Amino acid sequence: MKRTASEKSAVFTIYRPELVELNDSIPLTFEISGVPRDTVNNTMVDNGSCLEVKSIPAATNPKSYIVDLHHSQEQFLPEKIGILLNNEGRTSSAEIKEDPDFPGIQALLLRSDDRLKFTLDNNSGKNISKMVLTYRLPNGWSPPITSQEYLKS
């Protein structure tokens, strides 16, 4: 979090994971104290997220209050989510058991020559109109969570 301030205002820059990375639409919640509640405005922030100032006092300090930062309206969770497991180290998508939620589609994510390789075989007879691949790397890898949009609608 980065903060810049003047006599009458403070601006905070907050970096947080995207909705698809969190897989949950729960807002980021802050406890604020030291400034009157009516001086913190419900506002839209740079990326379209909504800052909602609540009237309820915080449980930890009755002189503080709760502020929720919601995800922007452009962010949404997918209608269907599949999971790729390759604990056995398979090297061909034909060796992977089909996900019953995605009949006719086989996918594989594997490490090859210190790179991640993603393969998708579509034998469903249907076109895939949009697909986002999100993967989490082991602790210590950077970046730990990555999303890549492959097909646009």
What pLDDT does 40 receive?
75
User: 45 lies in which domain range?
Assistant: 11-69
Domain end, chosen from 29, 53, 69, is at: 69
15 in a domain, yes or no? yes
Return mean pLDDT, the chain. 76
118 in a domain, yes or no? yes
65 in a domain, yes or no? yes
Domains identified in the chain, total number: 2
75 in a domain, yes or no? no
Amino acid letter for position 107: A
110 lies in the same domain as 142: yes
77 in a domain, yes or no? no
What pLDDT does 42 receive?
57
pLDDT confidence band for 45 (50 / 70 / 90): low
Amino acid letter for position 132: V
pTM beyond 0.75: no
85 in a domain, yes or no? no
What pLDDT does 125 receive?
92
87 in a domain, yes or no? no
